Amino acid sequence: MPTVLSVTLAIGSHRLSQQGAITKRMTAIEEMAGMDVLCSDKTGTLTLNRLTVDRNLVEVFAKDMDKDTVVLLAARASRLENQDAIDAAIINMLADPKEARANITEVHFLPFNPVDKRTAITYIDSNGNWIRASKGAPEQVPTCLNANHPKISNSLVLGNKKHWCN
């Protein structure tokens, strides 16, 4: 099976290169095959290879939550090192990237993987509150929150015009 997959990806990569596509990783072809929506802009992502998030387009669908808090929680659920384009774009929304981990004690970080389609961080804030923040596919994020952790009393998930509260 691994041989079949490797050969299939190599053939796909070759065909894409004949059409002018540049693939940096073989797995990118497989990841694109599973994609439902591609968001890009003709002036930034494709020409500069840099993804950006427009803070003005961030929508908040939860009571007692503002854009700044949502951006901060998303940045906290992002990797600070070895970032992918999405993590970098989210962290760049902060005035200072160090703000993403300021005044918190990280307890656990779940990195992104294509199976779970989400990241999550559990941390203790400066008031001693245990908080879990997650970002990822809206249908996947709720599965990692309130995972029977005795110190996390509630969770809020924002994404794709849906919100869940436990």
Angstrom CA distances, 46 to 49, 83, 86, stand at 5, 18, 14
Cα separation, 33 vs 141, whole angstroms: 22
Q: Give 136's DSSP letter.
A: E
Inter-residue contact 71 to 90 (CB < 8 Å) = yes
* Residues belonging to the active site: 41
Which residues, including other chains, have CB under 8 Å from residue 154's CB and lie 6 or more apart?
146, 165, 166
Q: Which two tokens stand for residue 23?
A: 């693939």
**DSSP H or E stretch at residue 7:** helix 2-18
Q: Are 70 and 58 in contact (CB under 8 A)?
A: yes
Structure tokens belonging to residue 61:
């669908």
